[in-house]
Amino acid sequence: MNQPQFQCNQRDQLLEQLDRQLLRSRGSGERVALLVFNLRGFREINMTCGHAAGDTVLRLVAERIRSALRPCDGLFHIGNDEFAVVLTTLKSPQVVSLAAQKILHSIDTDYELPAEVVAASAVAGGAVFPDHAGDRDGLLRSADTALHLAREQEQDFLIYDASLVSREQQLANLKRSLSKALDNNDLMLHYQPQIDLQRGQLSGCEALVRWNHAEQGWIRPDVFIPVAEKSELIDTLTYWSINVALREWLEFCVQCRDGAIAVNLSARLLQSTEIVDLVSRALNIWGADPGALILEVTESAMMSDPETALRVLTRLHEMGVTLSIDDFGTGYSSLAYLQKLPVSELKIDRSFVQHMADRPQDRKIVRSIIDLAHNLDMRVVAEGIEDQRSLDMLVSMGCDYGQGFYIARPMPAGQLSDWLHQAPWRKPAA
Ligand code: C2E
Ligand code: CA
Ligand code: CA
């Protein structure tokens, strides 16, 4: 078995070993698997504990990997924080996943250094010869691709799969055309009216982004928002949607004092205070009262980095913007954390509202959220109202606001006036 040398790269030895094993495999028909491992957080260990400590961790990791291997398998240190393992005499490709999980499990532990204890873990990609590639270089490429995809998808291990690659390519294409669509102004907003349930009048609208792709037709926001969220595109998209929403809402509702426009804010934007400047700039450009803007954030968005989220939300609140928790009831925010947030609105997730007329359990949840919101001095919005019975129940439960297909589907700004003219709801006070 190979003894990792942390000063030198063992890539050449890996290539020789693969040449040897693939030749044997061509004769015997037995499979060969290549696994590539990337240590997580190794740069931080090097930076905070020094390079000597980093080398020690590499040596200890190599020992742990070796302890999980059979004598016939090979281990190679092929780069800074990268290891490769060659598994030979495999009867079926299924055992590769098990081997990878065993190795990952052995790496995932605390490492005792002279001065401190550090934790390390790894992410891995694997490919099998001849199932995923017909030669050595193809096998290396496939394992690297699997590692890249595992990292992208935040998984511990992925084995090469051609369909995963084509999905990844589709997403990359989608990202490119979304970027172009933003440049060319090909996106638009649709507006879903929100009703003050107790007063029977329009209280505002939620702005929902729409994309009519030249070749693929309408693409749902659930499909392209997650793509945008993986890059800085989401910043551009959010800045665009806040500006367009303010402009179109102010145009539609020239002197509405009570009305407000709600815009969705992605999780990623709560991880930096940059959004505060973006919002302030947009309010200035359109001369909008901060009270006319509601920003909707989901519970999960806040939980990934609660401290930064709290800082960002506090600054937006101080600016006078209303903050709303979207999809409430589907996340796991603790009531203690909720109480600390400068949030004035809860939006009950539509999964509880849609069928509440027929499901007593859903009704109980809706009633509890309404009471919780009011006890915390927050107002409450029900989304996903699809029938008159649910609407009536919400009114009698004291729910403040509502939106849903029964009231109106999201529509372009130009249709709002006609809709309001025909609908039984009054315009907000001027
Ligand atoms: P969301 O914020 O929960 O938005 C409400 C979704 O529920 C919208 O879907 C809306 O069309 C749909 N909806 C409204 N009433 C009903 C109803 O009565 N029944 C049913 N079944 N559905 C109803 P849409 O427009 O497809 O948006 C999906 C999600 O995409 C949104 O969920 C939001 O998370 C995200 N999204 C939309 N626009 C933006 C945006 O501009 N920025 C960001 N960051 N996210 C957005
Ligand atoms: Ca929303
Ligand atoms: Ca929602």
Kindly report, residue by residue over 320-356, the tens digit of the pLDDT: 999 999 999 887 667 778 888 899 999 999 999 999 9
Please tell me the distance between residue 325's alpha carbon and the centre of ligand 3 in angstroms: 9
Quick one: average pLDDT of 22-34?
Answer: 92
Q: What is the CATH number of the domain that holds 47?
A: 3.30.70.270
114 shares a domain with 194: no
Cα 261 to ligand 3 centre (Å): 15
Beta bridge partners of 261: 205, 293
Taking alpha carbons only, the member of 263, 226, 215, 190 closest to residue 415 is: 190
- Give a yes or no: residue 33 inside a domain: yes
Probe residue for ligand 1, chosen from 236, 264, 381 as the CB with the greatest number of ligand atoms within 8 Å: 264
Ligand with the closest atom to the CA of 195: 1
- Whole-model pTM over 0.85: no
Q: Which residue puts its alpha carbon closest to atom 37 of ligand 1?
A: 208
Say yes or no: 185 and 308 in one domain: yes
CA 326–ligand 3 middle distance (angstroms): 5
Contact (Cβ atoms closer than 8 angstroms) between residue 116 and residue 49: yes
Distance (angstroms) between ligand 2 centre and the Cα of 372 equals 20
Contacts of 30 (CB under 8 A, 6+ apart): 24, 88, 89, 90, 91
Is-contact 407 385, C-beta < 8 A?
Answer: yes
Contact 118, 50 (CB under 8 A): no
Q: Residue 200: beta bridge partners?
A: none
Residue after which a domain boundary falls, among 160, 187, 209: 160
Asked if residue 119 and residue 42 are part of one domain, the reply reads yes
Residues ≥6 apart with Cβ < 8 Å to 115: 49, 53
State how far the Cα of 199 lies from the Cα of 395, in Å rounded to an integer: 10
> Which residue shows structure tokens 């329009």?
202
Do residue 209 and residue 301 come from a single domain? Answer: yes
Phi, psi of 329 (to 5 degrees): 105, -15
Under the banding of pLDDT at 50, 70 and 90, the label for residue 62 is very high
E-strand stretches of 225-333: 260-264, 293-298, 322-328
Q: 71 with 219, same domain?
A: no
Mean pLDDT value of segment 209-231:
89
Model pLDDT for residues 94-128, shown as the tens digit of each residue:
899 999 999 999 999 999 988 889 999 999 999 99
User: Which helix or strand (DSSP H or E) is residue 235 part of?
Assistant: helix 233-252
For residue 430, what pLDDT is reported? 63
The pLDDT score that the predictor gives to residue 154 is 86
* Same domain, residue pair 297 and 192: yes
Tell which wins on pLDDT, 114 or 91. 114
Ligand nearest to the CA of 354: 1
Residue ranges making up the domain that contains 70:
11-160
Q: How many domains does the chain have?
A: 2
Pocket of ligand 1 (CB under 6 A): 192, 208-209, 220-222, 225, 241, 264, 266, 326-327, 350, 354, 383-386, 403-405, 410
Give CA 378 to chain center in angstroms.
Answer: 27
Quick one: pLDDT at residue 7? 46
The protein residues having their C-beta less than 5 angstroms from ligand 3 (an ion) are 326-327
Q: How far does the centroid of ligand 2 lie from the alpha carbon of residue 305, in Å?
A: 20
Residue 295's CATH number: 3.20.20.450
138 with 180, same domain? no
